[in-house]
Structure 1
Amino acid sequence: MLLASLTTGPCTLHAASAPLPPFVLSDCLALLDDDPSDVDDYVSSHTVTGNERAIGHCRAVADVMTGDALAGAEQLDQLAHETARHEVGADDDSTEERANVAADAARAWFAAAMPGKAAEAAGYGLTLTPESIALRLLKDKALLQMDQLQTVIRDLTPLANNPILAAETHRLKAMAELQTGALTQAKTDIEQSLALEPDDTTSLLERGIIRQRLNDPEGARADWEKVVSLEPDSHEADLARQDLTVLASDPDALPPSDVTIHAAVASPVPRTH
């Protein structure tokens, strides 16, 4: 009877909840591309313990993407300088991980329009991983915005034959060379960048400027028209349209984007170290 009551009576025991899946930083960051506001849902549905640094990293990037670049940059900078405060091995605070955080801190400072802070963040990251090409490019991008053109050229010249992020390297170097009046060198570098990424609108916009400065209005027009064709709704397309308008009315005038693009140095540096 007792056995029967145990097998047929109401069940008072509940199955243990299934364990939550582990928090994965790359998955969280990928989620942000679709909807940065979903970060809380992702965190709540994954294991938190032992992943505090990764969660802080993802939340800070989400802040940047939702418009609070300053707060996100400050959080990332702080995280890059800190090591994990709990038991060893429970969270990744290796030099490489902290350098990755420093790189995102630099990107966040760019979003906050503070290139000096971006240079500092990238420079700190380089103390952790001195061979990181991405961090060098982030630092040089900041120095370019700060008009330290010769420093940028000197730093990027040894990377001319390095295949890592080569298109971005030649693009930044061309921007610096153009601003120093080294048009022939700038043309060589932007051509090398476009050989690797032929549809990059920032490089096409830049080559159009160089061609116009080298008295090649037809080449400039072709580049700017291609920018509009490739990404008609982009910021680069807006600049290209302005350049085309000026070119049509006064072929010798300086393209408007010659000032705008170099003030912003628009292209981001990818997350590659």
Structure 2
Amino acid sequence: MTAAGLGLNKFCYAGLIAAHKNKTPITDDTATKIIELVEQFKGWSSVKGSRDNAENFMMGISEEELYNTPTAEYVHRRSGFLHRKLTVYHVTFYACADLRNVEVMETLLEMVRRDNKTLDVFILMQVMRCYLHSGDIERAHKIFEEYMKSGKQAMVELYVTLAEGAMVGYTPKGMQLALETLENMTSRDFFLSPKMGNDLLLVAAGEKTGGYTMANYARDLMQARKIIPSPPSVEAYYNGLKKRKHRSQDFQFSLMLPYPQSGDLSGKSLSLNMSE
């Protein structure tokens, strides 16, 4: 019986691919099975197209949100950020980035090009992540630069993807690129969302050596936008500061934390004494 006969849609294939990606331990044939599922989906999609559920849209819920795909938080973006017909490719490229499998990712790129499909911004983000997580900063940076020079609308997510991924391994070159990327982003009047700011601060705070410049800059950007840092990012940043002996022992670290809306604590700042 064919996949179409079984009633599998693109979200079923996306779920199967995600299941293979999340399976532990990762086996030698994981990548092969993922590619096979993409090929099966291509055969299915040529027989039967996928239609969005009208009832879900009436409720204000997209199928991406309903099935909790990696694209769920971006589904309402416009300007070519997300081509919803590429759902299976979205999940597969996302899996490749998490698995750090450049070979499969590049195979997928060839498949997309052979099918004359246009890469959207989400897929470009995953291609960059895959290279960055594999330590290939140059190729990820090249993709970023080519997009920025293409005349297409610049996206803050691309800046954040490059900055966050460049910090993998905390190499001097990567940390410098991350800092320059955020400075360039700021100069173009792009701003971090609370999630972006917290994600960047949490990663930057993991730097064990160096001047902690990236973490301080991420914190400053958040403070400038009055973004309340999450407890994990505050703790990570604070612990990183404590380990730096050259800082003043009486350094006071003040950040606004989300206290419960009751009593006299609401909205007050937390001061962490660095003399501990």
The TM-score normalised by the length of structure 2 is 0.43
Which protein is bigger by CA-based radius of gyration? Answer: 1
